[in-house]
Amino acid sequence: MIDDYRSFIYKSYVTSRQEPLAPENLTGLKNRESRLMQFICNYFPKKREVKILDLGCGHGALIYFAIKMGYHNIYGVDCSPEQVAFAKQLGIDNVQEDDLMNTLNSHPPNSLDVIISYDVIEHFNKNELINFVVEIVRVLKTDGYWIIHIPNGGSIFSNNVLYGDFTHEIAFTATSITQLLKASGFREVKCFEEYPPTNGFKGIVRFLIWKFIRVILKFYLAVETGGGGKESIFSQNFIVVATK
């Protein structure tokens, strides 16, 4: 009898999909380059020497591009042995296999400048997540950042992300994630919509179409609620930067 569904799925997390989650070589990361580079440029601190821990780093794609951008003091941890094996195959060596809570527990208080959780915390249930956040607060330095990429429960296509992975437990809105993070001790929480990368002609066209669709969605929300929906986030995922 299977009593741990996560371990059951994570042992083949890369390959048990319609399309493999990780590429066989670095060329296969090209299709993620624009979005991840945009993420790094927009939300990483400007100081390249900061100490960064990528929790739930997968096969290390974000780490690879961060190093290309000059962030050499970055390493990652993932609990999926297959993800870590693919990271090694890609030559991304500063990725190791471990339970995320074990990793946090091994760090002394106030020891990290930045923690990244890209497509991670939706895998926890609510009680697990609270314990996770408390540990994040403990190990971050004062004025340290937690940068999060999460499913947007307020998107009209939110179920695509929430139910796109068997191990997903929860989606968020800007209101719910702010509530959690401020209750846990973060002094500032900022939430950002994830817009299409604007590199090249196709990227600019996608961005302009997205802005047009966004106007329509804001209009719909204004009609339904009587408000302007100024702070609404409509993308399927969104980014949070929380400051301790």
Q: Give the chain's domain count.
A: 1
Provide the residue range defining the domain that includes 94: 5-197+234-243
Do the domain assignments include residue 25?
A: yes
Range among 6-15, 133-142, 194-203 with highest mean pLDDT value: 133-142
Do the domain assignments include residue 227?
A: no
Average per-residue pLDDT in the chain? 93
Do the domain assignments include residue 229?
A: no
Reported as a pLDDT band with limits 50, 70 and 90, residue 225 is confident
Do the domain assignments include residue 211?
A: no
86-92 long-range contacts, CB within 8 A, separation 24+ = 86/14, 86/22, 86/59, 87/22, 87/57, 87/58, 87/59, 87/60, 89/24, 90/22, 90/23, 90/25, 90/26, 90/29, 90/59, 90/60, 90/64, 91/26, 92/59, 92/60, 92/63, 92/64
Residue 152 has pLDDT above 90, yes or no: yes
pLDDT number for residue 230: 64
Do the domain assignments include residue 149?
A: yes
Do the domain assignments include residue 120?
A: yes
CATH of the domain at 34: 3.40.50.150
Do the domain assignments include residue 204?
A: no
Residues 12-52: tens digit of each pLDDT: 998 998 888 888 899 999 999 999 999 999 999 999 999 99
Do the domain assignments include residue 225?
A: no
